[in-house]
Structure 1
Amino acid sequence: MKRAALNIEELRRQARRALPRFAFSYVEGGADDEQTLKDNREVFARWRFIPPVLTDSSQRDLSVTLCGQTLSAPLLIAPTGYNGMLRFGADAMLARTARRAGIGYIQSTVSTASIEEIAAENLPQHWFQLYVLKDRAVTTGLLERAKAAGCTTLVVSVDAVHFGNREKDKRNYRRPMKLSLPSLVDVALHPGWVWRTLKPAGMPGFGNLKPYVSADKQRGAGGASYFSEQMDTRLNWETFAWIRSQWQGALLIKGILAPADAQRALDAGADGIVLSNHGGRQLDGSVSAMEVLSEIRQLCGADATILIDSGFRRGTDVVKALALGANAVLLGRPMLYGVAAAGEAGAQRALEIILQEVDRTLAQLGCTSVNQLGPHLLRPER
Structure 2
Amino acid sequence: MGAIRFALPKQGRPISIAGYRTAARRVLPDLVWAYVENGADDSVTLAANRSAFARWSLRQRVLRSSAGRKTAARFGDTELAIPVMIAPTGINGLVHWRGELATACGAAAAGSRIVLSTAASYSVEEVAAASPVGHWLQVYPWRDRELMDWLLERGRRSDCPTLVVTVDTPVFGNREPERLQGMSIPPVLTPRHVLDAALHPRWAYKVLRHQRVFTGNLVGMSGVRAGALAAKVRRERMMAGELDWDDFARVRAQWQGLCYVKGILDADDAERAVSLGADGIIVSNHGGRQLDGAPATLDALPGIADRLAHRATVLIDGGIRRGTDVVKALCLGADGCLIGRPALYGLAVGGESGVEHVLSILREEIDRTLALMGCSDIADLGRDWLIPG
TM-score by length of 2: 0.92
Distance in 1 (alpha carbons) for counterparts of 2:78 and 2:347:
26
Which residue is equivalent to 1:197?
207
- 1:256–1:275 contact (8 Å) kept in structure 2: yes
CA change 1:293–1:371 in 2 (3 A) is: same
Cα distance between partner residues in 1 of 2:227 and 2:311: 47
CA root-mean-square deviation:
2.1
- Does 1:111 pair with 2:120? yes
Query: Which blocks of at least 5 consecutive residues in structure 2 are unaligned?
Result: 1-9
Q: CA deviation at 1:257?
A: 0.2
Match of residue 346 from structure 1: 354
Residues 134 and 159 in structure 2, CA contact (< 8 A), matched pair in contact too: no
Percent of pairs with identical residues: 42
Moved more, 311-320 or 115-124: 115-124
**1:170 Cα deviation (Å)?**
0.8
Q: Deviation at 1:351?
A: 1.1
Query: Cα offset for 1:232?
Result: 3.2
Q: How big is the shift at 1:203?
A: 5.5
- CA-CA distance at 1:188 after TM superposition: 1.8
**Structure-2 residue corresponding to 1:130:** 139
Give CA-to-partner distance per residue, 1:43-89, whole Å, 9 cap, x none.
Answer: 10010011111111122111112113322211111111000001111
Question: 2:258 is matched with which residue?
Answer: 250
**Cα displacement string for residues 230-261 of structure 1 (whole angstroms, at most 9, x for unaligned residues):** 52332211001111110011000000001110
Q: What residue identity is the alignment partner of 2:294?
A: S
Partner of 2:25 in structure 1? 16
For residues 248-300 of structure 1, what are the alpha-carbon distances to aligned partners after superposition, in whole Å with 9 as ceiling and x for unaligned? 11000000001110111111110010000000000001001100211111111
| Structure 2 residue corresponding to 1:180, chosen from 173, 187, 190 | 190
Q: Which residues in structure 2 correspond to 1:1-382 (within 5 Å)?
A: 2-173=11-182, 177-199=187-209, 201-202=210-211, 204-210=213-219, 211=222, 225-226=234-235, 228=237, 230-381=238-389
Counterpart Cα distance in 2 of 1:72 and 1:153 = 18
Give the deviation of 1:302 after TM superposition: 2.8
Change (3 A) 1:8 1:224: farther
Distance 1:323 1:19, change over 3 A: same
Distance 1:106 1:18, change over 3 A: same
Q: For the Cα contact (< 8 Å) 1:32–1:284, is it kept in 2?
A: yes
1:217: how far off?
Answer: 7.1
Flag the 1:364–1:125 CA change in 2: closer, same or farther, 3 A.
Answer: farther
Give, in angstroms, the shift of residue 304 of structure 1. Answer: 2.4
Contact kept in structure 2, 1:277 and 1:310, CA below 8 Å: yes
Q: Which runs of 5+ in 1 are unaligned?
A: none
Q: Residues 146 and 175 from structure 1, CA distance in 2 versus in 1: closer, same or farther, beyond 3 angstroms?
A: closer
| Cα separation, 1, equivalents of 2:223 and 2:240 | 16
Matches of 1:284 and 1:340 in 2, distance apart?
A: 27
Q: What is the CA–CA distance in structure 1 between the aligned matches of 2:181 and 2:301, rounded to whole Å?
A: 35
Q: Distance in 2 between matches of 1:29 and 1:169?
A: 8
Quick check: 1:138–1:212 contact (8 Å CA) kept in 2?
no
The 3-state SS of whatever aligns with 1:329 is strand
Structure 1 counterpart of 2:7: none
Measure, in 1, the Cα distance between the counterparts of 2:349 and 2:129: 25
Is the Cα–Cα contact under 8 Å of residues 339 and 346 in structure 1 kept in the other structure? yes
Q: 1:143, 1:132 → 2: CA distance?
A: 11
Q: State the TM-score, normalized to the length of structure 1.
A: 0.93
